[in-house]
């Protein structure tokens, strides 16, 4: 399904894509835009990631961070097609932090999914489904440096062949300045969304690869 949906996201015209989904909570984005507020659009790695991002691009202009692919041909296609999701937006490498901060301060909306294990140098250990998981603290840091509002959004594949894009209310009193509590809040939000559709989350990514000192590995292949 993900392969098919990515093809739809990359190559279908916007008018055809628009027939596939409904949107809830769009007023949260509108409010931030009315106030000239930058938005860190908090997402996570569902298997519907690309089609959800393309659907969102039908509604709003935004920029997005992504991980460059090792295959240069695929990486070119990935960036080229993701750039096309939004008429005036662009996809840039997750290593380009300066670009993200600059866009947030300019009042732009930036898509960001922090649910990846990037190692213990960039993370702290925070519970994720009851397991200590290396969790990046960058969500709070980006919000603080970019003076941005954090607005979560998710999408789900429905049984009738349609999709639902849900834009949640912005996080209140975030960031707090406490890295652990801020990271925990992000993980708890993600847990709640995954529980609604556990089969649509991208469990293939090694979310628990990095272990606290003294704990055995979870993935024996590693």
Phi, psi for 149 (deg, rounded to 5): -90, 140
In sequence order, what are the residues at sequence separation of 6 or more whose Cβ sits closer than 8 angstroms to the Cβ of residue 160? none
So what's the pLDDT on residue 101?
Answer: 92
Q: Average pLDDT in the 113-140 region?
A: 94
What pLDDT digit, counting tens, does each position of 58-107 carry? 999 999 887 788 898 988 888 888 888 888 877 777 778 888 899 999 99
Percent of the chain at pLDDT > 70 equals 99
Tell me the β-bridge partners of 64: 91, 111
* Mean of the per-residue pLDDT values of the chain: 92
What pLDDT digit, counting tens, does each position of 28-51 carry? 999 999 999 999 999 999 999 999
Q: From CA 126, how far away is CA 210, in angstroms rounded? A: 12
pTM across the whole model: 0.91
In sequence order, what are the residues at sequence separation of 6 or more whose Cβ sits closer than 8 angstroms to the Cβ of residue 71? none
So what's the pLDDT on residue 222?
Answer: 54
So what's the pLDDT on residue 120?
Answer: 87
């Amino acid at each position: 399904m993900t392969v098919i949906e990515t093809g739809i996201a990359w190559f279908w015209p916007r008018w055809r894509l628009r027939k596939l989904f409904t949107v809830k909570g769009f007023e949260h984005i509108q409010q931030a835009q009315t106030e000239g507020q930058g938005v860190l659009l908090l997402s996570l790695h569902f298997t519907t990631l690309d089609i959800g991002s393309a659907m969102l691009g039908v509604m709003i202009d935004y920029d997005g961070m992504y991980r460059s692919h090792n295959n240069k041909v695929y990486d070119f296609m990935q960036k080229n097609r993701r750039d096309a999701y939004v008429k005036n937006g662009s996809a840039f490498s997750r290593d380009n932090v300066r670009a993200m901060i600059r866009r947030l301060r300019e009042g732009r909306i930036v898509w960001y999914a922090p649910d990846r294990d990037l190692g213990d140098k960039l993370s702290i250990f925070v519970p994720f489904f009851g397991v200590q998981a290396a969790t990046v603290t960058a969500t709070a840091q980006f919000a603080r440096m970019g003076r941005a509002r954090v607005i979560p959004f998710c999408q789900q594949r429905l049984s009738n062949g349609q999709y639902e894009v849900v834009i949640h209310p912005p996080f209140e009193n975030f960031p707090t300045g406490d890295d652990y509590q801020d990271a925990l809040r992000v993980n708890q939000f993600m847990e709640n969304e995954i529980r609604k559709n556990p089969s649509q989350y991208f469990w293939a990514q090694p979310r628990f690869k990095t272990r606290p000192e003294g704990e055995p590995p979870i993935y024996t292949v590693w």
